[in-house]
Chains A and B, each alone.
Chain A
Amino acid sequence: MPSPYTAKSWQLASLLILLFGIWVLWSGIYKPLLFGLGLFSCFLSVWLAKRLGFFHHGIPLRSLFRLPKLWVWLLLQVIKSSIDVARVVLSPSLPIQPKLVELTTDEHSETGKVILGNSITLSPGTVTIDVHEDRLLVHCLTKDSEADLRSGELDARIAQLELG
């Protein structure tokens, strides 16, 4: 999909330098052939990123610094819901109450919606199965996971990421 937005060359260059720096750090083998291959894959990644609209849908850098706070909260949610799902799976009567929930979100940016959808999928017991405009279709395994979803806390926390 050709995007009307053209990425600035400094954006392309900084992504390339970042990727290559990381590649060199992790490879640990400094031979011309490997350098060449690394450089080639970095160029390929930048080209793919440009084609996929990475620069178009970027989020402000300050949002990135707020991510760890969200991650800690998500980790706790994951632990909690994992134990719930494990208990459901192991109990002989298999007490599942699968339900489809349509969630309306306040997120406007594509990135926000992606983070929301993926965070919902990340915690066991809820899986995002469709995203359309500002509505997410979520499949829930139990009543508890449905209640957690409906509290809308996750949505609020992700909205905080993008505040100025």
Chain B
Amino acid sequence: MIETVVDILSWFLLCTGGIFVLIGGIGTLRLPDFYTRLHAASLTETMATILILVGMILQAGLTLATIKLLTIMAFLLLTAPTASYALANAALQSGNSPNAQQRDDQT
């Protein structure tokens, strides 16, 4: 009984994670410029990461694999923003200034 519940919950998390990856991809294509696209990418790298890894942890149960998955999640969540920052800052330094004030209607 309890296994079925955990299984259902785990599949729910994995599927939602997959959907968020998809939405992140769609967003990266739809949004107009570099900086706004970064927001869509961060959907994939935070929300989807959490959902998919927690889903896998539920599948793994109380094993060493769970601890490894938790560590992977911690490292991904610590390094992904740093990578985003490096990317955004590089774009800013190289003169790609975000035209944030006006709205871009050309999509």
Contact = CB atoms under 8 A, between A and B. Distances in A.
B43 A129 contact: no
A94 to B, nearest CB: 6
Contacts of B91: 129
B46 interface: yes
Given A97-B103, A118-B85, A129-B85, A89 B43 contact: yes
B81 A139 contact: no
Q: Determine chain B's interface SS by DSSP, over half rule.
A: helix
A141 B36 contact: yes
Contact of A79 (B35, B39, B47, B103): B47
Interface of A: 26, 28, 75, 78-79, 82, 85-86, 89-90, 94, 96-100, 117-119, 121-130, 137, 139, 141
Interface of B: 20, 23, 26-27, 30-33, 35-36, 38-40, 42-43, 46-47, 50, 64, 68, 77-78, 80-82, 84-85, 88-89, 91-92, 98, 100-101, 103, 107
